[in-house]
Amino acid sequence: MGEPTESSVRTEVRTWLEANWNPELGLVEWRNKLADSGWGVPHWPKQWYGRDLPVAFNAVVDEEFQRIGAVGVAKAGIRTLAAATILAHSTDLHKEKFLRRILTGEDTWCQLFSEPGSGSDMAGAVTRADRQGNKWVINGQKVWTTSAHKAEWGLLLARANWDVAKHKGLAYFILDMKQPGVQVHPLRQMNGHASFNQVFFTDAIVEPEFLVSDVGDGWKVATTTLMHERRGADGLRTWATASSRKGRIYEEERAEIATTMEPYKWYPQRAGRVDLVLERAKATGKIDDPVIRQEIAKLLIMSKTAARRAGAGPAARPGGIARQAGVEPRGAPGGAGPHLYHRRRRAPERRGQPDGRRHRRDPGVGACNIHRRRHRRNPAQHHLRAGAQDAQGAQRRHRQAVQGRAEEHHRVIVSRRRKV
């Protein structure tokens, strides 16, 4: 079989979904089918429930799922970090035992990194892991642990060697949370909700095969988990949106999402619930206070500006963001994906606007400028790539853009002088 293309992947997944999708199936039953077919996580290895496809095709697959209303694999919560870490560092035994149940949503996970004395300084962890016979015995305390009260398994960073530099003495374990040596206490916030927990270990046991890293390599494995966490950091509000459709599978998915996302409802420090402020001010009548109203307006402006800037940044996932905006991926599959300039140019909300709007006027920050810098030797090339019919057209567009900027520059200077 040749290299996959967008249309071959689309045809294949569409055919498979049309033959297999059934909203009357149970959620786990359906997700097992997804795991067997590889369409739940097409970018994972074939051997482990994927199809070895470049990640750029995920968006194509997602579109086909959405088209038919099919439910995907479980994605909300710490389980995605567990899966990424296990795929990168674990033995086949772990992959066999955990990956399928992560995808089906049968297992819930938590991340046991932060401690009262080691938050930002994560390598300073003092929860101890001692080898006794052929088992590891864990004693100590973790804090801030989201979803620990529900979790079957924990990703645990603990100190196994006290005689070396702190980064080198750590080991990384998979810990059974439902054992007598693990106690979970919710941390209640001022608003009455408990989004996270303290976790205490008293002679908790880890079987030797559940050590993920060699002793000393725990830091390296933890870094993988953290990198994946960071990549998803702004995803809290978009991860898990339940469909409102009718049918058994949708009901089960709604229930799952409600449970998994419950701790994130009040996650102010991380997610930033600016969206709640206006609603709350209206409900309490504070909105009538002009000073508060002014502060809320400032907050909303800052938040919207930040979101817009983040969306326009160059750190797009390959293919992903562009695909969300309805743009065909260009370049080799798995490559850097289409440039954001093209996303901006063709994004649905911008369609139909005059060409002039395509050229941003604030040099240095726009995706357009990043794109143009790539063609520094021949600036007109930028316009050719951006859709001009031929080289002459590109030159013309370039001259117009330069001219436009010069005029704008002139206008700003004149208006500043007038003010003076």
**Chain positions contacting ligand FAD, by CB under 6 A:** 110-111, 113-114, 119-120, 144-146, 195-196, 267, 269-270
Nearest to ligand FAD of 27, 151 (CB atom): 151
Query: d(Cα 199, Cα 115) in Å, to the nearest integer?
Result: 9
Long-range CB contacts for residues 91-95, cutoff 8 Å, separation at least 24: 91/209, 93/209, 94/174, 94/210, 94/212, 95/48
Minimum CB–partner distance for residue 196 and ligand FAD (Å): 5
Structure tokens at 340: 């954001």
The residue with its CB nearest to ligand FAD is 119
Q: How far apart are CA 256 and CA 262, in angstroms?
A: 10
CB closer to ligand FAD, 276 vs 414: 276
Tell me the closest approach of the beta carbon of residue 300 to ligand FAD, in angstroms. 22
CB of 157 to ligand FAD, least distance (A): 8
Q: How far is the CB of 263 from ligand FAD (least distance, A)?
A: 8
Nearer to ligand FAD, 271 or 287 (CB): 271
Residue 122 or 380 having the CB closest to ligand FAD: 122
Helix (H) or strand (E) holding 141: strand 135-143
Q: If we measure between CA atoms, which residue out of 360, 358, 314, 320 comes closest to residue 340?
A: 314
Shortest Å distance, C-beta 111 to ligand FAD: 4
In the bound state with ligand FAD, the residue whose beta carbon lies nearer, of 104 and 127, is 127
Q: Torsion over CA of 340, 345, 349 and 355, rounded to 10 degrees?
A: 160
Q: What are phi and psi of 8, to 5 degrees?
A: -65, -40
Q: How far is the CB of 147 from ligand FAD (least distance, A)?
A: 7
The CB density around residue 149, as the number of other CB atoms within 10 Å, is: 17
Closer Cβ to ligand FAD, 110 or 327, answer by number: 110
CB of 221 to ligand FAD, least distance (A): 14
CB of 403 to ligand FAD, least distance (A): 47
| Residue 153 contacts residue 176 (beta carbons within 8 Å) | yes
Alpha-carbon gap, residue 387 to 230, rounded angstroms? 35
Which is nearer to ligand FAD, 154 or 169 (by Cβ)? Answer: 154
Q: Which residues pair with 182 in a beta bridge?
A: 201
Give whole-number Cα distances, 315 to 1, 53, 88, 319, in Å: 33, 21, 22, 11
DSSP secondary structure letters along 145-183: -TTTTT-SEEEEEEE--SSS-GGGSEEEEEEETTSTTEE
